[in-house]
């Protein structure tokens, strides 16, 4: 659940908006009723432009055009990765990001309580409020939710797009299981100001919001508008510590464990070379990389009243057997660089932490990043 430190007034009708549709996102496709969305918004007094960007770069450019027109809302149809690249185009503008959730996991929608049904999501935004939030920065990239360094990023990098099309978010679990036999913890060196730290870790997560994929709470105390990243690194030494950390991870009770490193930081530099990095579920490269925030850098549309997360599985997605309450069910091939989904990786991390710790126990000093895969 996203937490904001202050309240903002509800929006008024009688403004312009743009709807950006990622046709490659899971749950969209050519049959997606984009014209019906435009017609509905027009009936509500919202002058609406409809666009279909066909690449991440074009999504960012289309978002930037909406900001230059001073649109009140930018409706984005897609997953967390689509939202991320759209957000880059409206940074520091008066245009607010309004998610119409599709894609694989939709962590942002779960964080804010935006329903998956199209009509319900539209009604939520029309009756909702606009608030500023911090925008994460990883070198030249932007993120809404979090950045991951280590095993989760390696899984995100290597998962097959064909497998994702066949089995959805379970593809991350399958890929993680494949990578476990060769996985090793990495000696990670990071600095915060003058302080330098170095320790063998399984994964480091830098959170702007509370949830990591569904309902796993890496950073339950995170605020999205406090100007700080919540850093959590898992550093268990030995199988016993790893089992304990895995259990506490799934229960959302990592804080206070002796094998968990945590801090609140405005920025952080990871200078160990060659470690994979993912942001909001998209692989973006390797370290060294500097992470920080643009305080209040993005306006977002959220429900009016208290922000409540939607119920769901522990590792993201809908409960088994449940389907989104929405008539649009056409599935199109998913663009791996466009619609991120890191949430299912956490189910792998929870039991791989023990495996990796066992493989790495008793080893000290630097380890090649290639050992993670």
- pLDDT tens-digit profile of 65-86? 999 999 999 999 999 999 999 9
For residue range 81-133, what is the model confidence (pLDDT) as tens digits?
A: 999 999 999 999 999 999 999 876 788 998 889 998 999 999 999 999 999 99
Residue 211 is classified by DSSP as B
d(CA 209, CA 221): 9
The model's confidence at residue 229, banded by pLDDT at 50, 70 and 90, is very high
**Where are the chain's structural domains?**
145-294+341-372
For residue range 33-46, what is the model confidence (pLDDT) as tens digits?
A: 999 999 999 999 99
19 pLDDT higher than 70: yes
The model's confidence at residue 276, banded by pLDDT at 50, 70 and 90, is very high
Report the pLDDT averaged over residues 211-222: 72
**Cβ(111)–Cβ(284) under 8 Å?**
no
**Cβ(263)–Cβ(231) under 8 Å?**
yes
For the whole model, what pTM was predicted? 0.77
Task: Supply the pLDDT for residue 3.
Answer: 57
Task: Supply the pLDDT for residue 336.
Answer: 29
Task: Supply the pLDDT for residue 245.
Answer: 67
Based on the number of CB atoms within 10 Å of its own CB, is 3 exposed (0-12), middle (13-18) or buried (19 or more)? Answer: middle
Task: Supply the pLDDT for residue 6.
Answer: 42
Task: Supply the pLDDT for residue 223.
Answer: 87
d(CA 116, CA 346): 22
d(CA 30, CA 48): 20
The model's confidence at residue 349, banded by pLDDT at 50, 70 and 90, is low
The H-or-E segment that residue 163 falls in is helix 161-167
Higher pLDDT, 184 or 139: 139
Higher pLDDT, 21 or 13: 21
Task: Supply the pLDDT for residue 8.
Answer: 43
For residue range 295-342, what is the model confidence (pLDDT) as tens digits?
A: 999 999 999 876 554 433 222 232 323 333 332 222 222 232 344 444
371 pLDDT higher than 50: no
For residue range 232-273, what is the model confidence (pLDDT) as tens digits?
A: 888 767 676 667 766 677 666 677 666 678 889 999 999 999
Q: 145-294+341-372 is classed in which CATH architecture?
A: Sandwich (2.60)
57 pLDDT higher than 70: yes
């Amino acid at each position: 659940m996203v937490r904001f430190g202050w309240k903002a007034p509800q929006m008024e009708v009688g403004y312009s908006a743009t709807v950006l549709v990622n046709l490659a996102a899971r749950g969209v496709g050519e049959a997606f009723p984009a014209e019906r969305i435009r017609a509905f918004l027009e009936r509500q007094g919202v002058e609406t432009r409809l666009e279909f960007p066909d690449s991440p770069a074009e999504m960012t450019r289309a978002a930037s055009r909406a900001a230059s027109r001073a649109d009140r809302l930018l409706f984005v149809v897609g997953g967390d990765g689509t939202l991320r690249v759209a957000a880059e185009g409206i940074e520091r503008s008066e245009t607010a990001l309004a998610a119409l959730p599709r894609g694989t996991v939709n962590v942002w929608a779960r964080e804010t309580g935006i329903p998956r049904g199209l009509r319900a999501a539209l009604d939520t935004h029309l009756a909702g409020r606009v608030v500023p939030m911090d925008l994460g920065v990883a070198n030249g990239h932007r993120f809404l939710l979090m950045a991951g360094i280590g095993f989760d990023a390696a899984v995100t990098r290597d998962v097959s797009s064909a497998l994702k099309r066949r089995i959805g978010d379970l593809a991350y679990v399958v890929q993680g299981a494949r990578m476990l036999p060769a996985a090793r913890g990495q000696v990670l060196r990071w600095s915060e100001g003058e302080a330098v730290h170095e320790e063998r870790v399984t994964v480091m997560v830098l959170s702007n919001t509370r949830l990591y994929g569904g309902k796993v709470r890496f950073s339950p105390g995170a605020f999205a508008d406090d100007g700080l990243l919540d850093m959590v690194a898992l550093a268990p030494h030995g199988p016993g510590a790893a089992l304990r950390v895995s259990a506490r991870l799934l229960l959302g009770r990592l804080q206070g464990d002796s094998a968990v490193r945590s801090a609140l930081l405005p920025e952080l530099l990871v200078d160990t070379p060659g470690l994979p990095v993912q942001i909001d579920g998209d692989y973006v490269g390797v370290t060294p990389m500097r992470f920080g925030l643009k305080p209040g850098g993005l306006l977002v549309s959220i429900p009016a009243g208290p922000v409540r997360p939607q119920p769901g599985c522990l590792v993201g997605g809908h409960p088994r057997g449940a389907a989104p309450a929405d008539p649009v069910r056409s599935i199109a091939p998913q663009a791996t660089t466009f619609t991120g989904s890191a949430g299912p990786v956490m189910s792998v991390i929870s039991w791989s932490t023990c495996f990796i710790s066992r493989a790495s126990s008793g080893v000290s000093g630097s380890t090649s990043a290639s050992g993670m895969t």
